[in-house]
Amino acid sequence: MTSDTETVRVVPVRHYGRWLTAILVVGVAALFLRALLDSPNLEPATIGEYLFKDYILDGVVTTLWLTLLAMVLGTVGGVLLAVMRLSANPVLRGVSWAFIWIFRGTPLLVQIIFFGFLGALFPRITFSLPFTDLVLFDKPTSVVVTGTVAAVLALSLNEMAYAAEVIRGGILAVDAGQTEAAAALGMSPALTLRRVVLPQAMRVIIPPMGNETITMLKSTALVSIIAGRDLMTAVQTVYQGNYKVIPLLVVAAIWYLALVSLLSAGQWAIERRFGRGFARGGVR
Amino acid sequence: MTTQATTGGAEAPAAVQTRPMVRAEGVTKKFGPVEVLKGIDMTVAPGEVACLLGPSGSGKSTFLRCINHLERIDGGQLWVDGDLVGYRRQGDKLYELKAREVARRRRDIGMVFQRFNLFPHLTALGNVIEAPVRVLGTPRDRARAEASALLERVGLAEKANSYPGQLSGGQQQRVAIARALAMHPKLMLFDEPTSALDPELVGDVLDVMKSLAADGMTMVVVTHEMGFAREVADSVAFLDGGVVVESGPPGEVLGNPTHARTRAFLDKVL
């Protein structure tokens, strides 16, 4: 790139504004940090003491598997709902629409509390063969739907509704010519969906689903309201005993931030992988 | 998935020499209030190459898509190799076929699209073996061997592991032809196969189609390539406004058109 005919000095644009804002930001941050450290209730030592306590770590593990389970169930259900929503069958379309309408239309917190108190609505869960006296299953609801089960139910059903819309968008983004080409080869609609449409929809689906996973990780904190035994529940249990609210909230925040950072890194890697083989996007 | 075809022409007499590959009687098709096909009659014999010509909007592509039921016809009747397209006859009633049964009938009708429609997430080889492996249940090794032979036939043996995005338009279209041939079709449909190509790439695709015709493949080709129609076609049909205006051997229709609309069209394109 060097030209040996004549050497001229290139003076880049000077960004004085950037230096000014940087000084301003550092100043404000320093002031905030001093106020933070001056507070008698931050207690860094307490934070360090509780960060790796075994019941806090148990909470972290519960938060992680709740997220994982809710996302797996949510994605599987979401694919089903998305396909139903796009189906030619008006009954399936209607069912899917109603499900999404209800679970997207009410707050997650309300759904969690609702499933936590399911026993108040249906005291017993009973399955029997119709038109006979044969009872296959009969137990009190509170025994079957424990706090954990209620948490999984609420989180995954809610996720299904959101995932369905994300996946539907991904499916619609695949060119109609792809379906026609598959049809012309004699592929059935189900085979076409599995082998042609979904693999291509993945590229569109993965970024928002990564986002959903991150949102889900943080939403699991809501199940503390029905004693879901997650990280937030563990933290609350501790500070309700020793009143060290701020240090323990910082413990929770550190863990959530660390886990979300990990998920973001994973999302980046997966997006790169699914971008391969496509001319668009530039990444090969 | 399903592997075995059970119905089809099982009950039909085996050796009917005169049975046409495609037979259309009074086929009509509407898109909303617009009637795009107003009664098409056409017969294509086995081994015949039929070219459909006409201005855009004349209905030629729509008719082609009706042949493998990508479009549903609204009136008239259409047979492929003796089977009614989209319906099953039982006694004096016609039963509409389910998606799965339509898929089974489409297995032996190959189609090549204007915009190629290769599967971008699969390699050239992956595109060619997909339907034989998943639809016919061909063992993967045999499908691979056949696919390699087909890719070689269309002159792309060395591109087997390339993704469609890495191929030129002409190469993609030749892979698309190989993909259709992998199902051992008895009929090939071409929907303006060279219209989306750079002029310098058209020749390669036409050469492949000529060699197919020479091997006796039954082909219905929608095209604007008058040279191809003149040289390769056994019959030519000129469509305009949803009807067949004129049809016959290419020498007559292209060389000595009797109809004013055919003459006006040919004057513009030649």
pLDDT at B10 over 60: no
Query: Given an 8 Å threshold on Cβ–Cβ distance, is A177 in contact with B131?
Result: no
Residue A277's pLDDT band, with cuts at 50, 70 and 90, is low
pTM of the model: 0.81
Query: Alpha carbon of B164 to those of A192, A199, A246, B176, B266: distances in Å?
Result: 18, 15, 57, 10, 35
pLDDT at A31 over 60: yes
pLDDT tens, position by position, A119-128:
888 888 888 8
Of all residues in chain A, the percent with pLDDT exceeding 90 is 68
Instruction: Give yes or no for B168 touching A (CB within 8 A).
Output: no
Instruction: Give yes or no for A281 touching B (CB within 8 A).
Output: no
Residue A173: strand, helix, or coil: coil
* Per-residue tokens: B187: 């009929």
Q: Nearest Cβ partner of A183 from B2, B103, B176?
A: B103
Query: Given an 8 Å threshold on Cβ–Cβ distance, is A185 in contact with B180?
Result: yes
Query: Given an 8 Å threshold on Cβ–Cβ distance, is A187 in contact with B100?
Result: no
Q: Which of A185, A188, A204 to mutate to test the interface with B (most CBs of B within 10 A)?
A: A185
Distance between A267 CA and the closest CA of chain B, angstroms: 20
Count of C-beta atoms within a 10 Å radius of residue B8: 15
Distance between B167 CA and the closest CA of chain A, angstroms: 10
Q: How many Cα atoms within 13 Å fall on the side-chain side of residue A99?
A: 24
C-alpha dihedral over B11, B15, B18, B23, to 10 degrees? 30
Count of C-beta atoms within a 10 Å radius of residue B141: 8
Could you tell me what percentage of chain B is helix, strand and coil, using 3-state DSSP and rounding each to the nearest 5? Answer: 35, 25, 40
Residues of A in contact with B163 (CB under 8 A): 277-279
Q: Please state the ipTM of this predicted complex.
A: 0.88
Q: Nearest Cβ partner of A278 from B117, B120, B130?
A: B120
Distance between B36 CA and the closest CA of chain A, angstroms: 20
pLDDT tens, position by position, A211-270:
999 999 999 999 999 888 899 999 999 999 999 999 999 999 999 999 999 999 988 888
The whole-angstrom separation of Cα B209 and Cα B181 is: 11
For B183, name the nearest residue in chain A, comparing CA atoms only: A185
Average pLDDT over chain A, rounded to whole? 90
Residue carrying the six token digits 């030519």 = B236
Closest CA to B53 of B239, B260, B268: B239
The DSSP line for A185-243 is: TT--HHHHIIIIIHHHHHHHHHHHHHHHHHHHHHHGGGGGGGT--SHHHHHHHHHHHH-
Residue A131: strand, helix, or coil: coil
* Binding-face residues of A in 167-206 toward B, CB within 8 A: 175, 177-178, 180-189, 191, 195-196, 199-200
Residue A119: strand, helix, or coil: helix
Segment B20-49 shows an average pLDDT of: 94
Question: What is the greatest pairwise CA distance in chain A?
Answer: 100
Query: Alpha carbon of B58 to those of A78, A266, B115: distances in Å?
Result: 43, 53, 19
Instruction: Give yes or no for B84 touching A (CB within 8 A).
Output: no
Query: Under a CB-based contact definition with an 8 Å cutoff, are residues A139 and A127 in contact?
Result: no
Question: What is the greatest pairwise CA distance in chain B?
Answer: 55
Segment B2-20 shows an average pLDDT of: 50
Query: Given an 8 Å threshold on Cβ–Cβ distance, is A184 in contact with B111?
Result: yes
Segment A31-48 shows an average pLDDT of: 89
Distance between A30 CA and the closest CA of chain B, angstroms: 51
Q: Nearest Cβ partner of B134 from A183, A195, A280?
A: A195
The whole-angstrom separation of Cα A219 and Cα A229 is: 14
CA torsion through residues B122, B128, B131, B132, sign:
negative
For A186, left (φ over 0), alpha (ψ -120 to 50), or beta? left
The whole-angstrom separation of Cα A196 and Cα A188 is: 11
Query: Given an 8 Å threshold on Cβ–Cβ distance, is B163 in contact with A188?
Result: no
Residues of B in contact with A170 (CB under 8 A): none
Closest CA to B30 of B69, B75, B83: B75
pLDDT at A3: 53
Query: Given an 8 Å threshold on Cβ–Cβ distance, is B183 in contact with A185?
Result: yes
Instruction: Give yes or no for B134 touching A (CB within 8 A).
Output: yes
Domains in chain A (CATH in brackets) are: 46-124+133-273 (1.10.3720.10)
pLDDT at B92 over 50: yes
Instruction: Give yes or no for B107 touching A (CB within 8 A).
Output: yes
Residues of B in contact with A201 (CB under 8 A): none
Q: Nearest Cβ partner of A186 from B103, B120, B164?
A: B103
The whole-angstrom separation of Cα A30 and Cα A24 is: 10
* Per-residue tokens: A122: 């249906």
Distance between A177 CA and the closest CA of chain B, angstroms: 6
pLDDT tens, position by position, A81-140:
999 999 989 999 999 999 999 999 999 999 999 999 988 888 888 888 888 778 888 888
